[in-house]
């Protein structure tokens, strides 16, 4: 289903790999037993791999992809064992491969009609239209909702990235901010954060690196869960406040101190984005 | 988290050659007295709950003789320690410790690598040592892909101030512990304290206190541990137990997470971030959520129905918000059918029980039709998630003021 939706949007899916199913075809795409076989048949190496396998198979599949020279991996799988995730991310760092996820809904670039992963579903145009706003979110569903709310206000997206809902992810919001700031097609970045992890604190530090750079509108969800006992997990595995660390209020303060336009609520993100884009075009 | 009770952790450590105190689990004061008699001498009686900081909670007692071991067990059994009811106690020999050490290995999610902590001041809460005297704790960053050579643990303990036979004994025990950490997919393995005991000319290191927290996601690889582990930071409520069964039903399709709270507005929302937006907005609008639920990942109608029944069974629930951000794959018609079936089974009609639905995305046209036909207030993409949350708060406050 994901492959069909990607193809319909315009993404070229060159080969599929499912061990034991070599020789078949899915949505017109040839399936191979190994990535090595796909590379020799299609004259690879490939640009990117969608690592869409069950949690316990993710590490193995990702090692195979990196071993075959692929340097961009999107991992949508949720509930990847933590030791496996740590091994996978260490391997990727060593191989200088970019990993998005685990637990990422995908990446989409509306102007190029490129989409990787489930993000946008069967009707990507409903939520994502081309524009100049870079979107990054720890929640995959909200990545699309941000696109939709921007569209309803006449705004569009350069690239949207669901960075992954897990505590340990490959490409961090801080790294993505640096990439968005280097991207001539992006004039504003919108970020949706959550409780737990140090991702927002790192993002704040990255924002402060270049004070006059592309502005950032940010919101950190879960302010009302601070009242609940520590260690209670809400939603994503990552959204856990442990030992007083990872509190939304601390993250909000760090982002505001670093110069982000911090929204008080999710709806306010779009008012701030509209104002910021309006200020630029005047 | 998935924690093992101490007797299980110690059995696992003993199987792998780590020294642990002699002892046994007791479910009654009589059993405790018998175990103490068999061990002879002074014993320690520990409440078996999957929590650390039991010492400061008064759940670790020393007893000079079997009769007092029975009395201590009687006092502990049936009480609640750190949120958990004490169903049994661990009765162990009380060792003459020459020195107490602290050792733990945990997966640091910021560094994305395992860290080993060593301190020559054991037997106390490590958070206290860490905050009061950070210089007393030494840290070793490990490679997640490779078990460390023994010399790295010797370096760690030498830096922490050990030498001679103490250094050798502590290093060997912690090296074996790191192996257990890797082998069990642990989030945390804590030995607190490691007791150093004089044995003739030499020194033996013994895991006197032990806590193992295994990664829930890895439990399918460790069926023996899965059968023993207690999952969660507090004991689950009966409804949470039901919700876990819903989540386990059709494990490859649909996410179903549920945390019970004490408010009166049921939330059947998703996905992970979306749930937080709805939850924050309900609280901000002055409402009180009866639960926090995450429903996503394209669940079947049956899975929706089962989770909706759990949400609608929250005590004192007066209304329901069904909501999603625009979905990537969760199908609005299946959500609608599941919710309607649950409402129907529980005899909750739209005229007396307020329900607001904000369902946008895959098959939302069909979903809208089903919901509106059943008399449920449907809000589309033109209504923001936060506006929908404010709407259910308003409806619950004034059930007569339906749209």
Backbone φ and ψ for A156, nearest 5 degrees, come out as -140, 175
Contacts of residue A59, Cβ cutoff 8 Å, sequence gap at least 6: A80, A81, A84, A85, A87, A88
- In this complex, the residue of B145, B281, B381 whose CB is nearest that of residue A148 is B381
Torsion of CA A191, B268, A169, B230, to 10 degrees: 140
CA distance A231 to chain B (A): 6
Mean pLDDT of B285-291: 95
Q: What is the pLDDT of residues A175-228, one digit of tens each?
A: 999 999 999 999 999 999 998 889 999 999 999 999 999 999 999 998 887 766
Give the H/E segment covering residue B35.
helix B29-39
Distance from CA of A156 to the nearest CA of B (A): 16
Residue A268: Cβ-neighbour burial (10 angstroms; 0-12, 13-18, 19+): middle
In the sheet where A98-100 sits, what is the strand order?
Answer: A49-50, A72-74, A98-100
pLDDT, mean of residues A55-70: 96
- Report helix, strand or coil for A19: coil
User: Taking CB atoms and an 8 Å limit, are B107 and A83 in contact across chains?
Assistant: yes
Minimum-distance CB partner of B273 among A78, A121, A142: A142
SS percent in chain B: helix, strand, coil, step 5: 40, 25, 35
The CA distance from A223 to the nearest CA of chain B, in Å, is 7
- In sequence order, the β-bridge partners of residue A189 are A134, A216
Task: Name the helix (H) or strand (E) containing B23.
Answer: strand B23-26
Q: How far is CA A121 from CA A144, B282, B327, in A?
A: 9, 28, 7
User: What residue ranges in A101-255 does DSSP mark as E strands?
Assistant: 107-109, 114-116, 130-137, 157-162, 188-193, 216-220
Q: Are strands B89-93 and A16-17 parallel, antiparallel or unpaired?
A: unpaired
Name the residue among B219, B216, B162 with its Cα closest to residue B194.
Answer: B162
In this prediction, residues B199-221 reach a mean pLDDT of 93
Instruction: Tell me how far apart the alpha carbons of residues A166 and A162 are, in angstroms, rounded to a whole number.
Output: 11
CB B153 within 8 A of CB B103: no
* Cis geometry, peptide bond prior to residue B271 (ω within 30 degrees of 0): yes
DSSP B192-242: EEEEEEEETTEEEEEE-SEEEEE-GGGGGG-HHHHHHPEESSSPPPHHHHH
Q: Provide CB contacts within 8 A for A251, sequence distance 6+.
A: A193, A195, A200, A201, A204, A220
Chain Cα centroid distance, residue A267: 21
Q: Per the residue annotation, which of A236, A241, A263, A277 is the catalytic one?
A: A236
Helix H or strand E encompassing A97 = none
Confidence at residue B253, expressed as pLDDT on a 0 to 100 scale? 83
Average pLDDT of span B232-251: 85
Test the B interface: residue of A141, A144, A200 with most B CBs within 10 Å = A141
Pairwise CB contact (< 8 Å): B273 & A91: no
Least reliable range by pLDDT among A99-103, B84-88, B127-131, B164-168: B127-131
Residue ranges of alpha helices (H) inside B118-185 are: 126-132, 150-159, 164-183
Could you say which of 1.10.15.40, 3.40.190.10, 3.40.47.10, 3.40.50.720 is the CATH number of the domain covering A2-100?
3.40.50.720
pLDDT value at residue B134: 67
Distance CA B209, CA B52 (A): 10
Cβ contact B279–A197 (<8 Å)? no
A2-100 and A106-281: identical CATH topology: yes
Q: In the prediction, which pLDDT does A37 show?
A: 96
Mean pLDDT of chain A: 92
Tell me the nearest-neighbour CA distance from A41 into chain B, angstroms: 32
Q: Is the pLDDT of residue A234 over 70?
A: no
The answer to whether residue A238 scores a pLDDT higher than 50 is: no
Q: Would you say residue A117 has pLDDT above 90? A: yes
B115 touches A: beta carbon within 8 Å: no
**Gap between the Cα atoms of B290 and B314, Å rounded:** 7
**In chain A, where are the structural domains located?**
2-100, 106-281
Retrieve residue B194's tokens.
């490691």
- A87-96, A243-252, B10-19: which has the minimum mean pLDDT? A243-252
Which tops the pLDDT comparison, B328 or B197?
B197
Q: Is B382 on the interface with A (CB under 8 A)?
A: yes
B111–chain A Cβ distance below 8 A for any pair: no
User: Are the beta carbons of B325 and A165 separated by less than 8 Å?
Assistant: no
Q: Give contacts of B107 with chain A, Cβ < 8 Å.
A: 82-83, 86
- pLDDT greater than 50 at residue A237: no
Residue owning tokens 């004192």: B316
Residue numbers of B between 24 and 83 with CB closer than 8 Å to A:
none
User: Which residues from B are below 8 Å from A195, CB to CB?
Assistant: 276
Coil vs helix vs strand at B119 = strand
Torsion B280-B284-B285-B287 (CA) sign: positive
Host H or E run for residue B47: strand B43-47
Average confidence score pLDDT of chain B: 92
Catalytic site includes residue A236: yes
Residue B123: its H or E element: none
CA separation for the pair B65, B59 (Å, rounded):
18
Please list every residue in chain A whose beta carbon sits closer than 8 Å to the beta carbon of residue B361.
Answer: 121, 144
The four Cα atoms A217, A92, A104, A5 give a dihedral, to 10 degrees, of: 110
Q: Given A106, A138, A168, which is nearest B112 (Cβ)? A: A168
Tell me which chain A residue has its CA closest to the CA of residue B293: A235
- B106 CB burial (10 A radius; 0-12, 13-18, 19+): middle
Separation between Cα atoms, residue A119 and residue A110, nearest integer Å: 11
CB–CB contact A221 B277 (8 Å): yes
Which pLDDT tens digit goes with each residue over B379-397?
A: 999 999 999 999 999 999 9
**Among 3.40.50.261, 3.65.10.10, 3.20.20.80, 1.20.58.100, what is the CATH number of A106-281?**
3.40.50.261
Residues of chain A contacting residue B127, judged by C-beta atoms under 8 Å apart: 243
CB-based contact B336:B330 (threshold 8 Å):
no
Alpha carbons within 13 angstroms on the beta-carbon side of residue B100 total: 14
Q: What is the dihedral of CA B196, B198, B204, B206, to 10 degrees?
A: -40
B107 and A78 in contact by Cβ < 8 A? Answer: no
Inform me whether the C-beta atom of residue A56 falls under 8 Å from chain B C-beta atoms: yes
Question: Minimum mean pLDDT among A54-68, A169-183, B222-236: which range?
Answer: B222-236
Q: What is the torsion angle, in degrees rounded to the nearest 10, for the CA atoms of residue A128, residue A134, residue A138 and residue A139?
A: -10
Residue of chain A whose alpha carbon sits nearest to that of B295 = A235
Q: Give CA–CA dist A212/B264, Å, rounded.
A: 47
Instruction: Quickly state the pLDDT bin for A279 (edges 50, 70, 90).
Output: confident
To probe the interface with A, which of B178, B188, B273 has the most A CB atoms within 10 Å?
B273
Q: Residues 292-311, chain B: which have Cβ within 8 Å of A?
A: 292, 294, 296-297
Interface membership of B106 toward A (CB under 8 Å) = no
Interchain CB distance below 8 Å, A55 and B217: yes
Report, as an integer, the average pLDDT of B188-201: 93
State in Å, rounded, how far the first CA of chain A is from the last one: 43
Kindly state whether A127 is in contact with chain B, defined as any CB-CB distance less than 8 angstroms: yes
In chain A, which among 166-225 make CB contacts under 8 A with chain B? 167-168, 192, 194-195, 197-198, 221-225
Share of chain A above pLDDT 90, in %: 83
Mean pLDDT across the stretch B11-18? 96
Q: How would DSSP label each residue in B313-366?
A: TSTT--EEEEEESSPSS--HHHHHHHHHHHHHHTT--TTTS-EEEE--STTHHH
CA-based nearest distance A180→chain B, Å = 22
Two tokens, residue A108: 């989409």
- C-beta of residue A107 within 8 angstroms of C-beta of residue A100: yes
Indicate if the pLDDT at residue A236 is higher than 60.
no
The DSSP element (H or E) to which A110 belongs, if any, is none
A45–chain B Cβ distance below 8 A for any pair: no
Give the whole-angstrom CA distance, residue B102 versus residue B100.
7
| Cα angle for residues A89, A117, B244 (degrees, 5° grid) | 75
Q: What share of chain A is helix, strand, coil (3-state, %, to 5)?
A: 40, 20, 40
Q: Counting one residue from A and one from B, how many pairs have CB atoms under 8 Å apart? A: 176
Q: What angle do CA A51, A54, A58 make, to 5 degrees?
A: 50
Neighbours of B203 (CB within 10 A): 19
Measured between beta carbons, which residues in chain B are less than 8 angstroms from residue A54?
A: 252
Stretch 237-256 of chain A: residues touching chain B, C-beta under 8 Å: 237, 239, 243
CA distance B358 to B378: 6
Report the chain A residue with the minimal C-alpha distance to residue B388: A267
Inter-residue long-range contacts of B240-244, CB under 8 Å, 24+ positions, other chains counted: B242/B310, B242/B313, B243/B293, B243/B307, B243/B310
Q: What are the tens digits of pLDDT across the range B321-344?
A: 999 999 888 999 999 999 999 999
Helix residue spans in B41-105 (DSSP H): 66-76
Vertex A69: Cα angle to A64 and A70 (nearest 5):
80
Helices (H) then strands (E): counts for chain B: 13, 20
Angstroms from B341 CA to nearest CA on chain A: 25
Q: Please report residues of A whose CB lies closer than 8 A to that of B217.
A: 55, 79-82, 237
């Amino acid at each position: 289903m994901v492959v069909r939706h990607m193809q319909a949007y315009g993404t070229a899916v060159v080969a599929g790999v499912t061990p034991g199913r070599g020789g078949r075809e899915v949505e017109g795409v040839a399936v191979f037993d190994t990535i090595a076989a796909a590379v020799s048949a299609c004259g690879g190496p490939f640009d990117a791999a969608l690592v869409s396998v069950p949690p316990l198979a993710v590490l193995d599949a990702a090692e195979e992809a990196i071993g075959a020279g692929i340097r961009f991996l999107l991992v949508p799988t949720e509930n990847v064992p933590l030791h496996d995730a740590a091994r996978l991310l260490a391997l990727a760092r060593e191989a200088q491969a970019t990993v998005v996820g685990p637990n990422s809904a995908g990446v989409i670039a509306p102007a190029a009609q490129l989409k990787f992963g489930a993000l946008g579903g069967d009707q990507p145009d409903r939520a994502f239209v081309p524009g100049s706003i870079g979107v990054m979110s720890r929640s995959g569903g909200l990545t699309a909702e941000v696109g939709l709310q921007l569209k309803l206000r006449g705004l569009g997206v350069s690239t949207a990235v669901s960075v992954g809902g897990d505590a340990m992810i490959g490409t961090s919001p801080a790294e993505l901010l640096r990439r968005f700031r280097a991207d001539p097609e992006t004039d504003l970045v919108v970020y949706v954060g959550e409780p737990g992890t140090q991702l927002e604190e790192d993002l704040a530090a990255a924002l402060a690196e270049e004070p006059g750079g592309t502005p950032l509108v940010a919101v950190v969800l879960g302010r009302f869960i601070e009242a609940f006992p520590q260690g209670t997990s809400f939603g994503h595995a990552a959204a856990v406040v442990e030992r007083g660390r990872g509190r939304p209020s601390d993250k909000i303060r760090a982002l505001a101190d670093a110069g982000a336009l911090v929204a008080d609520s999710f709806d306010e993100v779009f008012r701030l984005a509209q104002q910021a884009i309006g200020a630029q075009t005047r | 988290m998935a924690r093992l009770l101490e007797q299980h952790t110690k059995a696992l450590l003993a199987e792998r050659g780590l020294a642990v105190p002699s002892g046994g689990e007791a479910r009654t004061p009589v059993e405790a007295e018998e175990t103490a008699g068999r061990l002879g001498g002074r014993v320690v009686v520990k409440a078996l709950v999957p929590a650390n900081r039991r010492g400061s909670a008064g759940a670790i007692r020393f007893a000079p003789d079997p009769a007092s071991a029975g009395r201590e067990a009687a006092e502990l059994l049936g009480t609640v320690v750190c949120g958990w009811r004490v169903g049994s106690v661990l009765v162990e020999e009380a060792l003459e410790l020459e020195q107490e050490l602290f050792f733990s290995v945990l997966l640091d999610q910021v560094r994305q690598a395992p860290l080993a902590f060593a301190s020559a001041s054991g037997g106390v809460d490590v958070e206290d040592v860490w905050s009061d005297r950070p210089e007393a704790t030494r840290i070793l960053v490990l490679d997640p892909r490779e078990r460390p050579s023994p010399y790295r643990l010797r370096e760690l303990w030498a830096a922490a101030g050990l030498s001679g036979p103490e250094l050798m004994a502590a290093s060997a025990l912690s090296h074996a512990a790191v192996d257990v950490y890797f082998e069990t997919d642990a989030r945390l393995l804590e030995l607190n304290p490691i007791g150093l005991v004089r044995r003739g000319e030499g020194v033996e290191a013994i895991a006197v206190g032990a806590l193992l927290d295994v990664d829930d996601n890895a439990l399918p690889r460790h069926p023996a541990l899965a059968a023993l582990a207690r999952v969660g930071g507090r004991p689950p409520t009966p409804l949470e137990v039901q919700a876990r069964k819903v989540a386990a039903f059709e494990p490859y399709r649909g996410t179903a997470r549920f945390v019970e709270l004490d408010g009166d507005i049921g939330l059947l929302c998703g996905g992970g971030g979306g749930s937080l937006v709805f939850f924050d907005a309900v609280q901000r609008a002055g409402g009180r959520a009866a639960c926090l639920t995450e429903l996503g990942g394209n669940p079947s109608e049956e899975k929706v129905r089962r989770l909706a029944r759990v949400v609608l069974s929250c005590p004192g629930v007066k209304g329901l918000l069904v909501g999603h951000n625009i979905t990537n794959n969760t199908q609005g018609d299946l959500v609608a059918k599941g919710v309607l079936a649950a409402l129907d089974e529980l005899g909750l009609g739209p005229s007396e029980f307020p329900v607001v639905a904000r369902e946008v995305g895959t098959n939302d046209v069909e979903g809208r039709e089903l919901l509106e036909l059943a008399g449920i207030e449907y809000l589309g993409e033109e209504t923001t998630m936060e506006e929908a949350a404010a709407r259910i708060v308003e409806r619950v406050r004034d059930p007569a003021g339906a749209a």
